[in-house]
Amino acid sequence: MTGAGSASERLRALGLELPRPGRDSNYVNHRTVGAGIHISGQLPYRDGELLGQGVVGLDVDVPAARSLARQAALNALAVAADAVGDLERVRIVQMLVFVASTPELGEQSRVADAASELFVQVLGENGRHARTAIGVAGLPRRSPVEIQLICTAV
């Protein structure tokens, strides 16, 4: 359940602020196609530092992976807000969560739940989304999680 106030106020109440989206010379952070805004995969970086590396179920436990997913979601939210011009205008349509995990883990959805929960806490109904959580053999820079979004502006 979300509290009263704007999305920005709810974010601050959680003790969070949107990071400044990074830039890469080889790709863009987002691309608008029709009404949809496709957000490039986001890793759990904070202040330019990748917060974790390894495989969930081997090097990284599920609670730590949930924390990393929450940070990757915050980074994706920052790119979405940048794409639409204001956090208040972001509506999440679909989230794809990649979890570098052992084949037997089976808890990829629990990892993804941390990101889903953040979106709903901050955006309310605009944060509810369709979702897929996938276990993969590896991710860039040995990150345990990566999050990709499709959103729209409201």
Q: What pTM, to 2 d.p., does this model score?
A: 0.95
Domains in the chain (CATH in brackets) are 7-17+30-153 (3.30.1330.40)
Question: What's the pLDDT band for 1 if we cut at 50, 70, 90?
Answer: very low
Q: Is the pLDDT of residue 132 over 90?
A: yes
The DSSP string of 52-105 is --S-BTTTB-HHHHHHHHHHHHHHHHHHHHHHHSSGGGEEEEEEEEEEEB-TT-
Q: How far apart are CA 19 and CA 71, in angstroms?
A: 10
Report pLDDT digits (tens) over 11-61.
999 999 999 988 877 889 999 999 999 999 999 999 999 999 999 999 999
Averaged over 111-127, what is the pLDDT? 98
Cα four-point dihedral sign 41, 45, 48, 53 = negative
